[in-house]
Amino acid sequence: MKTYRFILIFATICSTLLFIQCKDADDNGNVIDNVSCTDGIQNGSETGVDCGGPSCEACATGLVFTGTYTQEDQMGRPAINTVFGTVGMKDAFNVTIPSDMRAAFQANFETNLFILNPAYTTNAIGLDATAFTTVLSNDVLWVAETGITTYFNGTEILTGRALTDDVIDVSLLLIFGGPAGIDNPTLVSDFVSENDATFSTSFPYLANAF
């Protein structure tokens, strides 16, 4: 009887112990990455404590980012400096901050617009030469916070720049196409309407290198 009771107690203790989970705080690199970035241990694919690898923040240990960096080039909208800039002006344009650009370059842009298209009056978005070159000389790319982002898709106008946008045709149309977009039919398109490689719908979107 006494033995049986001891067996019973022993069995009870053992089965109770089975239900006690020991919290293993020492992961030994066995946890998956997305729970380890804040555990104070270098584990998973981290290259430092809670940093590095594909999932955690970058490690900055040992890296030097000091110094002053001075502008040499910039870009907002496609081909603006190329098409509307002229020799002697292009270099200055690259080191002019956008808020100073209109005062510095709008008049030059308007002169160059009339050199490209002496018959320019207005274009398909209703801008005369001064208004058009004013928009262009403030060389920032507009991108919408909401909705479709495209240079032009037939409906949206200048709400971004997607990889598939034919920005050349848009630009040529606005320069040469006149008010209805039908003037100068051999100048309003370069008849290259798409990229040679197909883009991906997922990050990083651009096609693999040849």
Partner 1 sequence: MKKTKIFAAIGGLVLAVLSVVLIAADHIDAPEISGTSTDIADFYAFQGEDPNNLVFVVNVQGILAPGVPTEQAVFDENVLLEINIDNNNDLIEDKVIQIIKRNDPATMEDSMYFFGPVAVQSSQTGLNSTIDTANLSGSVKISTTTDIQTSTANGMMFFAGPREDPFFFDFARYNEILNGATTGFNNPGTDSFAGTNVLSIVVEVPKALLGSGTVGANPLAPTTPVYGVWVEAKRKQ
Closest CA to 174 of 137, 134, 130, 120: 120
- Of the two residues 20 and 97, which places its CB atom closer to partner 1 in the complex? 97
Shortest Cβ 9–partner 1 spacing (Å): 54
Shortest Cβ 160–partner 1 spacing (Å): 5
Buried b (16+ CB within 10 A) or exposed e, 19-56: eeeeeeeeeeeeeeeeebbeeebbbbebeeebebbeeb
- Of the two residues 24 and 194, which places its CB atom closer to partner 1 in the complex? 194
- Of the two residues 61 and 130, which places its CB atom closer to partner 1 in the complex? 61
How many Cβ atoms sit within 10 Å of the Cβ of residue 113?
A: 20
Beta bridge partners of 157: 152
From residue 77, alpha-carbon distances to 32, 62, 160 in Å are: 43, 37, 9
Shortest Cβ 173–partner 1 spacing (Å): 12
Based on C-alpha coordinates, what's the Rg of the chain?
32
Residue indicated by tokens 């200055």: 92
- Of the two residues 30 and 200, which places its CB atom closer to partner 1 in the complex? 200
Shortest Cβ 180–partner 1 spacing (Å): 17
- Of the two residues 30 and 164, which places its CB atom closer to partner 1 in the complex? 164
Shortest Cβ 197–partner 1 spacing (Å): 4
